[in-house]
Structure 1
Amino acid sequence: MQPTSEISPLLVRILYKCWSGAVLNSDEQQALNEWLAATPQNKVVYDEIVSGQWPVSDLQYYNSISYNDNWDRVQQKIAGKERPVKRLRFWWAAAAVILMLLGGVWFWKQQTQLKPEKAVQLADIAPGTQGAILTLGDGSTVVLDSLRNGEVANQQGVKAVLLNGKLLYENNGSANTIVYNSMTTPRGRQFHLVLPDGSQVWLNAQSSIRYPTAFTGKDRRVDISGEVYFEVKKDEQKPFFVNVPGRAEIAVLGTDFNIKAYTEEPYLNTTLVNGAVKVVAKGQSTILRPGYTAQIGEQGNIKVVSADTEQVLAWKNGAFYFDGATLQEVMRELSRWYDIEVVYEPGVPDTRFGGKISRDVNLAGLLRGLQATGVHYRIEQGRKLVVYK
Structure 2
Amino acid sequence: MNESELPDLIEKYIDGTATYDERERLLVWYRSFDHSEIFMADEDKVDESLQLILTKLNATLDFPPRKKSIIQKIHPWYWAAAILLIGFSISLFYIERGNLLTESAKQVHKDSILQIQPGTDKAILTLADGLVIPLDEAGKKVLQNNQDQNFRVESDGVLTMKSNQARTTSSSQRIVENQLSTPRGGQYRIILDDGTTVWLNAGSILTFPNHFVGNTREVSLVGEAYFEVAENKSKPFIVHADKILVRVLGTHFNLRAYPEDKQIRTALVEGSVQLNTINHTLKIKPGELGLFDKSKEDLSSKRIDLQTDIAWKDGYFMFRNESITTIMRQLARWYDVEITYTGDLDNKIFTGRILRKSSINEVLKKLELTGGIHFKIEGRRIIVMP
Q: TM-score, normalised by structure 2?
A: 0.78
**Cα displacement string for residues 321-369 of structure 1 (whole angstroms, at most 9, x for unaligned residues):** 1111111111112212222211110223511111222222222222112
Q: 1:78 to 1:265 in 2, by over 3 A?
A: farther
2:257 maps to 1:265? no
Counterpart CA distance in 2 for 1:276 and 1:287 is 7
**Structure 1 regions of 5+ residues with no counterpart?**
14-26, 36-44
SS in 1 for 2:94: coil
Aligned positions of 1:57-136 closer than 5 A = 65-66=50-51, 67-69=54-56, 79-80=76-77, 96-99=87-90, 105-112=92-99, 114=102, 120-122=108-110, 123=112, 124-136=115-127
| 1:8 paired residue number | 9
Distance in 2 of aligned mates of 1:126 and 1:76: 43
Question: SS of the counterpart of 1:152?
Answer: helix
Question: Over aligned residue pairs, what C-alpha RMSD do you find?
Answer: 3.6
CA contact (8 A) 1:375 1:387 kept: no
Out of 148, 152, 155, the position equivalent to 1:161 is: 152
2:108, 2:364 within 8 Å by CA — same for their partners in 1?
A: no
The answer as to whether partners of 1:132 and 1:190 remain within 8 angstroms in 2 is yes
Could you tell me which residue of structure 1 aligns to residue 63 of structure 2?
none
Q: Which stretch shows the higher mean deviation, 289-298 or 56-65? A: 56-65
Structure 2 partner of 1:249: 245
Contact 2:264/2:293 (<8 A) preserved? yes
Counterparts of 2:71 and 2:332 in 1: how far apart (Å)?
33
Kindly indicate whether the alpha-carbon contact (under 8 Å) linking 2:205 and 2:221 is maintained by their aligned counterparts in 1.
Answer: yes
Quick one: which of 355, 362, 365 aligns to 1:368?
365
Match of 2:43? none
Query: 1:92 Cα shift?
Result: 7.8
Identity of aligned residues (%): 28
SS at match of 2:347: coil
Shift of 1:315: 1.0
1:293 aligns with 2:272: no
Q: Which amino acid aligns with 2:164?
A: N
What 5-or-longer segments of structure 2 have no aligned partner? 40-45, 58-65
Query: Residue 313 of structure 1: SS of its match in structure 2?
Result: helix
Kept in 1: contact 2:239–2:246 (CA 8 A): yes
Q: Deviations over 1:87-131 (max 9, x none)?
A: 6xx98887632535xxxx333333447457666524432222211
Greater Cα offset, 293-302 or 118-127: 118-127
Task: Give the conservation status (yes or no) of the 8 Å contact 2:376–2:383.
Answer: yes
Which residue is equivalent to 1:357?
A: 354
So what's the TM-score if we normalise by structure 1?
0.77
Match of 2:61 in 1: none
- 1:297-336 equivalence runs, <5 A: 297-298=293-294, 299-336=296-333
Q: Within 5 A, what are the aligned runs for 1:215-234?
A: 215-234=212-231
The equivalent position to 1:274 in structure 2, one of 242, 248, 270, is 270
8 Å contact from structure 2 (residues 252, 268) kept in 1? yes
The residue number in structure 1 matching 2:199 is 202
Query: Structure 1 residues 68, 253: closer, same or farther in 2, change over 3 A?
Result: same
Q: Secondary structure at the match of 1:278?
A: strand
Please state whether the residue corresponding to 2:93 is helix, strand or coil: coil
Q: Deviations 1:174-199 (Å, cap 9, x if unpaired)?
A: 25122221111111211111011111
Distance 1:267 1:77, change over 3 A: farther
Determine the structure 2 residue equivalent to 1:17.
Answer: none
* Matched pairs, number: 352
Structure 2 CA distance for aligned equivalents of residues 201 and 97 of structure 1? 34
- 1:42 aligns to what? none
Q: SS where residue 354 of structure 2 aligns?
A: strand
**Contact kept? 1:201, 1:228, Cα under 8 Å:** yes
Which of 155, 174, 177 is residue 177 of structure 1 equivalent to?
Answer: 174
Distance 1:143 1:58 in 2: 52
AA aligned opposite 2:252: D
